[in-house]
Each structure stands twice: as C-alpha cells, then as structure tokens.
Amino acid sequence: MNLRIRRLGVVLGVLYLVLFLQLNRVQLFGAERLQDDVNNTRGLIREFGRERGPIVTADGVLVARSVEYGGSVDFRREYPEGELYAHITGYQSLNVEAVGLERSYNDELAGDPIDQRFASLGDLFVDRNSTATLTLSIRDSVQRVAAEALGDRRGSVVALDPRTGEIIALWTFPSFDPNPLADPDGTVANAAFDALVADPDTPLLAKSYREIYFPGSTFKLVTAAAGVETGLIGASTPVFPVATTYEPVPAGALIRNFAGSACGGDLVELLRVSCNTAFSEIGAEWVGPEQMVDAAEAFGFNADLGIDLPGAAESRFPADYGERLANVDRYRAPGQQPVEGAETVLPNGAVPVHENSARLAQTSIGQNDVAATPLQMALVAAAIANDGVVMTPHVVTELLAFDGSLLDRVEAEPLRVAMSASTAAILRDAMRVVAEEGTARNLLTGGVVVGGKTGTAQLGTTPPNSHAWIVGYAGLPDEQPSLAFAVIVEAQEGASEQTGGRVAAPIAQAVIEAAFN
C-alpha cells in the first residue's frame, strides 16, 4: 500500500505544481494582459480614487482640487469655480475619459513621474505626497471679465501673451459644471454626462480651441502678411484702384465688397475698410497659391498648435488650387495693369494662374473652405504683435511639488515664424489705424496702444446672420504688445462688416481693460 501512497504523493505534487505554474501565469507573466483587459475597471477606479494635485490660476484662485471622500474611493475631484474653468481643467470621471488638463497632465497631477516620486534618496523609504500642483497662466481677473462680457451669447474669448504664448483667458459659452461628472457615484456622473451630450449647444466642447469657424475678414491679416512678404506691397504702395468687384482669372465667382460698396487704396486703407476686392486680388495675383498656403501654414494653419490641452482642432486653409495654366498666365508688376497672354518667362513677382485661382480669390478673404479656431486667430494677432514669431500656446506655466518647491517651469518656445519683423511692424501700424479710425474703434481704451481687425463671417441670408469676430493686440505705449486676443460671437443677426466691430469688439475691450488694470 505504501507504494501507492507514495505514488499518490507524486500525483498530488504534480497537481499542485500545475496550480503553482498557473498562479505564476495569472499573477506575474500574464498579469499585464489581465490588467489591460477592457473589462478590468480596477485600474480605472484606483486611478480615479487617488489624491491629485490642485490646479491654481496665475492670481492664486483654486480651480481644481482633490477632497477626501468617504466611500468607494479615497478622494474625489472638486472644481470650486464650476463652469468658469471647465474647458481648461476638464474633468476626471469614472465613467468617461478625462479631458482638459486632468488628461494632459494626468501623470503629474497623480504624482506618477519618477522624478516627482523620488526627489531625494530619502523618498525611497517614506510614502511622500508626490502630486504636482499646476500653476496656470490664466488670470482669474481676466477670465472672469471675459465670461461676463460675453454673457449668454454663444462664443469664445482667447487672450494670450504674444511674447510667451501664455494664455491669459480662454473662455467658451456655453460651458458646463464639471463637478457632477467627477462624482464617484457612476449613476450621477452618467446622468450628468448624458444630459450634456444631448444639449444641442454642445457645452462639453471647448470651442475656443476645439471648434473651427469661418474666420471672415480677420483672415485678411494673413493675406496682408503674405502680400508684404512678396516684397511688392508696402504700407503705402502700391495704391489699389477703387473697385466694386473683382473678376478672377480664369473666370469664377465674382468677388464683391460689403453691400456693393467700392474700395481701394494702399494696404493700410485696404485693412481699415476691409476691402474684399483688393485682398482677393492680392491673394490670387500677387501672392499665388503656393505662397498663400505657405503663409497660412506659417501662422499655424493645417497643423497642430502644440497647446497643452488635449483634443485641439487644426485650423484649415485649402491647399489645392489645381494645375498651373500655361496659356492664361498673366503677371502684375507694381503699378501695372494685368496683362493677359501666354508668357513663358515671368518677370519678378509674377504669379502663374492656376486652374482654381478663383478659389484662391475666395480663400484669401477667409471664405470658401477656410476655417480657424479662435485660438488660431488669436495667434495670427499674436504673431503680428511679436515681430512675426508665433509662440507655442500653453495654459500651464509651473509645476510645483507638494512642499511648494518648483518641479518644472514651462519655458516660452517659438512654434513658427509667420513673417519678418518688418512685415509685422507694417501690419501692427495698420491694425492700429483700424482700431483708431476703422471698423475696430470699439476696442479703444485709455492708456493702452491697441490694434485690431474685425471680421463678419456670413452664414446665411434668411435671416441674415454671421459670426462676429475681432482679433487684435494691446500694449503699453512704446513697449512690445503684451496681449493678443480673438473674440468670436457666434451666429449674430445681421451681416454687415460692422457686426464684428459692434458685437465682438466691446468684449475684447473689456478683456484689455481687465488685463491692463
């Protein structure tokens, strides 16, 4: 019998060896696969319930914090300012993916990076709070004024420091209260989320950097920059003849001025009155497709702007204008009339006509398929204010450790060079004229030098309605401008070129006053 008992011992040993091997597979070698399984919510809940660092504005207002929560999780997230910062902080939710800074700075807020966890050798032995505090470049005093000035009109306000790319205000109405979405009770969070998703005004979408709009006449700043960069156009020469229409070559949709008016003159005058016909001509005949696309992309179009918030939309400038047409080439030299004919060699500055140059005539004044985020249009103004250099936009300036010491500082970084400093200077002066004598007079405020450009992107005619735009810069006299901005008020009644100046400019003016207060 003992032989059998020994054999039984061997069999049991083998069975337990199988258990041990499987145990190793589940707990060690196959653990990662199990932890990554879609049905595994353990990591999610653990992540959700951890303490995270607070988020604080440049002027010290707490906009996100972790508070202890007695229940299924140790901590929950609270957003004391509610909807004012929802599109910046985003939210951390159990049910849906995090957005905003809660997402882009998830690891730092949670205290995961190695350098945060082990700042010194002693940290190997104690369980130190390694969460990081985010300091924003947003100034609560400006953000609040932006929200109040826009009121309950749908739209966005973006204000930033053109020298550094630090965003000072970033507001979209309608916004939402992120607190219910961060509720540890999944049913509460789900109900809140469903209601927000069902809202036709899409309050969850941070339209200031995640939605694109027809930029209207504000885009003429890009065309003007491209025109000056050709070397053929200066502030006061050439003088464009007064016209009511522009006829593209080859034939296409006729470009008209607002309300059938006639306009012309030098570049400053063209910007002051926002002259459609002349800017169509500049884009289509003086700059040409390749350089127009290059110019738009130099401002940031058709690319990621590198903002430290997730899900940013790319602005769009159409790049396809068809083949070059050899038999309808024409050129324009300063002061000359268009000459039709099949020239084989073009003089300096001449632009070959393309199959779809008529489309270029439209895109050059911000029509057709051009679409931009409010952030992008603020960067257009910022590039002009900052001697042609577009700085990478960001909302986080500093990461602080739990004890207040500095972990990391976000340095100002150039994103692109949009134009030369001399071109920028010409446009700055022109924009100042627009603010002081043109369509953007509502921008003016005491003690500050202001430049701007309005836009009215027509959406339809029955009834007439349009997006009202203003972009611009502001600074102290004899100093480099320290503020660039874009304001859009969506779907306003009316379609006159005055709409942008009438509706959007006062909001920008309030922001300027708050910023320079």
Give the active site residues.
217
- Tell how strand 155-160 and strand 167-173 pair up: antiparallel
Residues near 507 by beta carbon (within 8 Å), at least 6 away in sequence? 146, 149, 150, 155, 157, 470, 487, 489
Q: Kindly report the CA angle at 69 between 64 and 75, in degrees rounded to 5? A: 50
Tracing tokens 């006509």 back to the chain, one arrives at 353
H/E element, 483 = strand 483-493
* CB burial of residue 381 (10 Å; 0-12, 13-18, 19+): buried
Closest CA to 446 of 476, 473, 421: 476
Q: How far is the CB of 24 from other proteins (least distance, A)?
A: 7
Looking at beta carbons only, is 18 or 406 nearer to other proteins? 18
Helices (H), 112-185: 114-117, 140-150
The number of residues making up the chain comes to 517
Q: Which two tokens stand for residue 31?
A: 């653990």
Q: Which two tokens stand for residue 456?
A: 């009215």
CA distance 28 to 355: 64
Looking at beta carbons only, is 21 or 195 nearer to other proteins? 21
Looking at beta carbons only, is 72 or 245 nearer to other proteins? 72
H/E element, 491 = strand 483-493
Q: How far is the CB of 180 from other proteins (least distance, A)?
A: 24
Looking at beta carbons only, is 41 or 422 nearer to other proteins? 41
Looking at beta carbons only, is 127 or 152 nearer to other proteins? 127
Q: How far is the CB of 49 from other proteins (least distance, A)?
A: 10
Torsion over CA: 384, 388, 393, 397 (sign): negative
CA distance 115 to 404: 15
Q: What is the DSSP letter of 500?
A: I
Q: How far is the CB of 185 from other proteins (least distance, A)?
A: 16
Looking at beta carbons only, is 24 or 237 nearer to other proteins? 24
DSSP for 204-221 reads TS-HHHH--B--GGGGHH
CA distance 380 to 302: 14
CA distance 300 to 220: 15
Residue 312 identity: A
Residues that bind other proteins (CB under 8 A): 1-6, 8-9, 12-13, 15-16, 18-20, 22-24, 26-28, 30-32, 34-35, 37, 39-40, 42, 45-46
CA distance 272 to 266: 10
Looking at beta carbons only, is 24 or 336 nearer to other proteins? 24
Q: How far is the CB of 130 from other proteins (least distance, A)?
A: 17
DSSP for 35-63 reads HT-TT--HHHHHHHTS----EE-TT--EE
Q: What is the DSSP letter of 18?
A: H
Q: How far is the CB of 8 from other proteins (least distance, A)?
A: 6
Looking at beta carbons only, is 46 or 409 nearer to other proteins? 46
Closest CA to 161 of 240, 245, 58, 80: 58
Looking at beta carbons only, is 43 or 460 nearer to other proteins? 43
DSSP for 104-160 reads HTHHHHHT-SHHHHTSSGGGGTS------EEEES--HHHHHHHHHHHTTSSEEEEEE
Closest CA to 325 of 352, 290, 350: 352
